[in-house]
Amino acid sequence: MEFLRGGHPLVLVVNPAARRATRTLARARATFAAAGVPYEEVRTERPGHAAKLARERSADAAAIVVLGGDGTVMEVAGALAHSGCPVGILPGGTGNLVARSLGIPLDAARAVYAVVTGVPALMDLGRLGDGTRFAFSASVGVDARMIANTTDRAKRRFGVGAYALAAVREGLACRTFRACITVDGEVVERDAAEVMIANIGSILSDLFSLGPGIRYADGRLDLCMYMPATVVQAVGVMWRLWRRRFEAPDRLLFRPGRVFHVECDPPQRVQADGELLGTTPFDVTVDAGAAVFLVPRSRD
């Protein structure tokens, strides 16, 4: 636990509204106690409160550990951007995309040990025009509709499976729109079902890859456009993402960059790390090396 700064305790920021918060917290408390790790527990009371708690306690904390979903993780990571304070994750949400991508176990006890024995890893973040940051992606199309159409009841009952079912349903619907994206000054215009500005290159514990060469610490983000026009083509896109075969310029388009502007006709709902954030147009820039996450030692 050499990352612990000056003998300070960890600060555990708990979102009690997260889907798995109650059982994750009980196991986390027991594991912290068994490991003899000092920590202070604070709870969020409203949207945005996690960011406030993190800023207030970061100066005297060894790390800020978040027990919640992707939205709470990004509240904290955004609030601590460029501060150097490490962020640990105890996955308590439904999708837990950031935790999965960093190799953090979903089991609470294993996640605690991954935090307290972990090593700091720099991560780029995406930054929207209003200052909101994201770790995984910002997108329009299938993802945003999936999030909008997945009910709290389905998430409680099926967990991440609720998102998976909604994603398949929306993907096979092949609803397209005209997308005009400017990437570092280059204009790309296509009919698309999904437009994503990605920072992390895989989902569902690396089951699907989103595109070639996407890295979370390379000082850039990646435009991923998926352009199926029929159900057969939509199945083909999913198959290619599973097999990591990206050479289909009529159905897949990728561009790395640092500055992006996205417009759609008709306007589309926008999501970032699982949170719905209004409609297009929107702007994104890369915030290189903004966050420090604690990751398992075994991770490359």
Burial code of 77-111, b = ≥16 C-beta within 10 A, e = fewer? Answer: bbbbbebebbbbbbbbbbbbbbbbbbbbbbebbeb
**Is 298 part of a structural domain of the chain?**
no
Domain end residue (candidates: 64, 86, 117): 117
Nearest-5° angle of CA 221, CA 223, CA 226?
A: 150
Clarify whether residues 60 and 146 are in a common domain: no
Q: Is residue 126 part of a domain?
A: no
Specify whether the CB–CB gap between 69 and 15 falls below 8 A: yes
Q: Is residue 300 one of the residues assigned to a domain?
A: no
CATH code of residue 189: 2.60.200.40
pLDDT higher than 50, residue 201:
yes
**82 vs 59: CA distance, rounded Å:** 13
- At residue 271, the pLDDT reads 93
pLDDT of residue 7: 59
Tens of pLDDT, residues 108-150: 999 999 998 889 999 999 999 999 999 999 999 998 888 887 7
Q: In terms of domains, do 107 and 163 share one?
A: no
76 and 164 housed in the same domain: no
In a domain, 69, yes or no: yes
Percent of the chain with pLDDT over 70: 92
CA–CA dist 22, 112 (Å, integer)? 15
CB 293 within 8 A of CB 133: no
Residues 146 and 280 occupy one common structural domain = yes
The residue among 172, 260, 247, 241 whose CA lies nearest residue 202 is: 241
Residues spanned by the domain of 160: 133-288
Domain count across the chain: 2
Residue 97 confidence class, pLDDT cut points 50, 70, 90: confident
Rounded Cα–Cα distance for residues 171 and 230 (Å) = 10
Q: Same domain for 71 and 97?
A: yes
Each residue's pLDDT tens digit, 145-186: 888 877 777 777 666 666 677 777 777 778 899 999 999 999
Read off the pLDDT of residues 45-64 as tens digits, 9 standing for 90 and up. Answer: 998 899 999 999 998 888 99
